[in-house]
Amino acid sequence: MKRDCAVAVLPAASSSSVRARRRKPWVTPGRLGIYAFLLTAALFFLVPLYVMLVTSVKPMAEIRLGNIFALPLAPTLAPWHNAWQAACTGLECEGIRGGFWNSVKITVPSVLLSIALGAVNGYALSFWRPRGANMLFAVLMVGAFIPGQVMLYPLVRALAALDLYSSVPGIVIVHVIFGMPMMTLLFRNYYASLPQELFKAARIDGGGFWRIFFELMLPMSLPVIVVAAIMQVTNIWNDFLLGLVFAGSDNLPMTVQLNNIINTTTGERQYNVNMAATLLTSLVPLALYFFSGRWFVRGIANGAVKG
């Protein structure tokens, strides 16, 4: 049951039932070739996960033997424990848990705000069509493709002027700005697929901008909100560049701390701890992916510059 929802892909999946009726003999050289290819590919994709998992439960003595593919002889959870609360992220040695909470503090408000703004923008652009809506839209499209570097320095200066540089509100604002084009596009396309008559009827009944939005559009937006939330949680959780620049040393997200753990350790490298930390950092997006498979795929398909 769970696998089913993790797998069904994309809206068009329903047509696969038609295809399934095409009968064929099952064991032919061709089919063997197909499976050989797919299994090899699956191995290539699974190897890193396997390596991470087994290494993260090995004592260092076993890692020194130099066989990353071997199963652990004496599995231990100590590296996980270490990664969570003792590994050194630069000068401090309190593990990655601080980064975890920083990431939560950054991700939750950023996701909520960017979805809220994206929904209002998309709603305004598709139903109210303010003057210059097309211009706005074009700029948003450009915004979606701008390399972040173009905006980095001006944003640093602007946030510094507002006294928000190196703070949680600062990094949240930056995430909202960077997420706005995608979110607006997503909601605009969704609202464009709703019948215009619905909106007109609400107008005749005397609904205003906000009333129509909250009482009519928002309740109908649940599917697209789920998609938007998945996109934004993975994007923002996995972000490295913006967190590095804007979060400030007290609020570094998990990805930045992870990189610090691995690239600044002196002495012998604690590969088991490093891999446990990597897994811990990937846990949230991976869990999201495994539990929301179908929506995740729809999210990337929709986020993929539709329209």
Partner 1 sequence: MALVALGAYVLTMLWTARVSLSSARIFPTGDFVGLGQYERLFRNARWLLSLENLAVYGVLFIALCLVLGFLLAVFIDQQVAGEGMLRTIFLYPYAMSFVATGLVWQWILNPGLGIQQVARNLGFDDFTFDWIVQQDTVLYTIVIATVWQASGLVMALLLSGLRGIDEELWKATRIDGIPKWRVYVSIVLPMLWPSVSTALILLFVMVVKLFDAVVAMTQGGPGTASEVPAKFIMDYLFGRANVGLASAASIVLLLTVLAIVAPLYYARSRALERSRA
Residues 218-247, interacting with partner 1 (CB under 8 A)? 234, 237-241, 245
Site track for partner 1 across 57-96, x = CB under 8 A: ------x-xxxxx---------------------------
- Amino acid (1-letter code) at residue 87: A
Collapsing DSSP to helix, strand or coil, 92 comes out as strand
Q: How far is the CB of 96 from partner 1 (least distance, A)?
A: 12
Residue from 13, 108, 162, 220 that binds partner 1 (CB under 8 A)?
13
Closer to partner 1 by Cβ: residue 167 or 259: 259
Q: How far is the CB of 256 from partner 1 (least distance, A)?
A: 8
Quick one: which segment of 85-93, 200-208, 213-221, 293-301 binds partner 1 (CB under 8 A)? 293-301
Site for partner 1 in 244-263 (CB under 8 A): 245, 255, 258-259, 262-263
Residue from 57, 115, 180, 228 that binds partner 1 (CB under 8 A)?
180
Q: How far is the CB of 201 from partner 1 (least distance, A)?
A: 25
Number of residues this chain uses to bind partner 1 (CB under 8 A): 98
Q: How far is the CB of 282 from partner 1 (least distance, A)?
A: 5
Site track for partner 1 across 95-124, x = CB under 8 A: ----------------------x--xx--x
| CB < 8 Å & 24+ apart, contacts of 98-103 | 98/257, 99/252, 99/253, 99/254, 99/255, 99/256, 99/257, 99/258, 99/281, 100/254, 100/280, 102/247, 102/251, 102/252, 102/253, 102/254, 102/257, 103/237, 103/253, 103/254, 103/255, 103/284
Rule CB under 8 A: is residue 210 a binding residue for partner 1?
A: no
Site for partner 1 in 155-174 (CB under 8 A): 155, 157
Q: In the beta sheet, which residues pair with residue 92?
A: 89
Instruction: Give the sign of the dihedral formed by CA 288, CA 292, CA 293, CA 298.
Output: negative
Closer to partner 1 by Cβ: residue 61 or 206: 61
- Amino acid (1-letter code) at residue 194: L
Instruction: Say if residues 137 and 175 touch (Cβ distance below 8 Å).
Output: no
Tokens of 154: 């001006």
Rule CB under 8 A: is residue 17 a binding residue for partner 1?
A: no
10 Å CB burial of residue 198 (0-12, 13-18, 19+) is middle
Closer to partner 1 by Cβ: residue 205 or 209: 209
Instruction: Say if residues 303 and 231 touch (Cβ distance below 8 Å).
Output: yes
Rule CB under 8 A: is residue 266 a binding residue for partner 1?
A: no
Closer to partner 1 by Cβ: residue 93 or 283: 283
- End-to-end alpha carbon distance in the chain: 33
Q: How far is the CB of 6 from partner 1 (least distance, A)?
A: 6
Rule CB under 8 A: is residue 270 a binding residue for partner 1?
A: no
Residue from 29, 44, 204, 266 that binds partner 1 (CB under 8 A)?
44
Q: How many helices (H) and strands (E) does the chain have?
A: 17, 0
10 Å CB burial of residue 105 (0-12, 13-18, 19+) is middle
Tokens of 216: 């009519």
Collapsing DSSP to helix, strand or coil, 155 comes out as helix
Residue from 119, 164, 281, 295 that binds partner 1 (CB under 8 A)?
281
Q: How far is the CB of 33 from partner 1 (least distance, A)?
A: 9
